[in-house]
Structure 1
């Protein structure tokens, strides 16, 4: 796979994906988080699937930085 460049989404495409999550999905909050983790944090599908709430949240429910 060496030499393959990842495609970068435009802000318009990301906004369209987030709107789609609101309009068409059963769990829009979860789906938005998945989109944003991929776009903003650069996580891959397997990395997102491996996340667990206890790894990223404090006991109060706040997201750790």
Structure 2
């Protein structure tokens, strides 16, 4: 993961947007993955695999873009 965002990107964008931090010790707030979505996936490859390992499947609401 190379890029970290401090705001959630638009779900229709090509940015991964997986939330990687909820708050923090130094009041640095939320953090989201700023990498591009992998082709055919809802997240970058790293976070796509992490979500699959954690939840066993990926179900997304309409309006969430798939990587190109």
> Which structure carries more helix by proportion?
1
TM-score of the aligned structures, taking structure 2 as reference length: 0.28
Q: Which has the larger radius of gyration?
A: 1
